[in-house]
Structure 1
């Protein structure tokens, strides 16, 4: 079933690319998850158009793609994407529950909003959340007044006012090599066998591309996402220990 879904998605992307090329206009997708982004990126060499990605802010995991002729007379920038940002915050923070990503997402989907129209949800320190969406800002503004037992206020926010600085937890690793299976095993504290299973199942992404190769060589600034576990970036390789181990500094996103 997964192979059939992937084949359908490839055909869809190729059809969108052809329509963009023939009409000479930009065409935007809905929000794509990492797997869908990886499929699209695998097609880029065979497309006659350029493709760019944006999710509303830097480090966004769910992103919208735009197809456009390389020589088309259109300027694509952050403001041209059909993305809206909304801030949802407790009306009375003193009595608010500790709302999670799942709580906010559930409230949005209870409005009948499809998942592909919802981008990332950023949980703020004050308990509020910034939600990125396509074409459904009005529904959210008028439809959400309470999440669980907490009354909330919904306000539209300009994308230019999103000031997102990710928080990191730095971890130093010592590895026998810079192969992905060795690094993942040390980073997530699992056996090589378990890590290789994650790779085989397509749950590991390197720079938004699915990675299946157990011996894939990693480099500085690579961004790794493990579905169901989290994501981290390789900050730097710091030489070797006296015993020949490679010292690697990684930064987990919190």
Structure 2
């Protein structure tokens, strides 16, 4: 027996249901597409800066340290100041009022995992830089610190040069005791670098390799108007890690 024909009302209802299902499928497709595009955008937003940073630093891969940045002539003459604070460990989180800009010696923290800063890390930004009191302990151990001010921090090309310099140092040899760090306005006893200078090198010298007389110790300073790998190389040749109060310490 043949099925009764659908009424006009049933046909309309069925047609509406088909249209609704079709619309729901389209919405579902659109939602999935939007989610995929958003996910790709999020991944790209995170990956692009990393890839760009790696690409920018590739230009320094085949270059020597001394060929990065400006010539040494952009830096001032090296100066020294009598040092104090050898083995003067103050409790962690105790602020120290350093008298030089930036510090090259003085009392400092001594805390495993905090001070000194780790040997394998050679570059810091304002977001993760160790405290001055930790970094001064690095200086006591023979490190050379490159300090950069806000003018450099705001210049992506100069920051890339500093990162390129930092990448030249490894973690297998004590001669690579180097850290690049920002000089921050919220640092204790902050003073700007001399006019026109935006980078500084500091080192805590024992007064020469093997010298143990603490009265011979000096803080060593050099300021530069720009980033100069050549000046840094010369500075570290003149004041190696061996010329420090505690050269064999990490």
TM-score by length of 1: 0.23
TM-score by length of 2: 0.23
The higher-RCO structure (CA 8 Å, 6+ apart) is 2
Q: Which structure dedicates a bigger proportion of its chain to helix?
A: 2
Q: Which structure dedicates a bigger proportion of its chain to strand?
A: 1
> Which one has the largest radius of gyration?
2
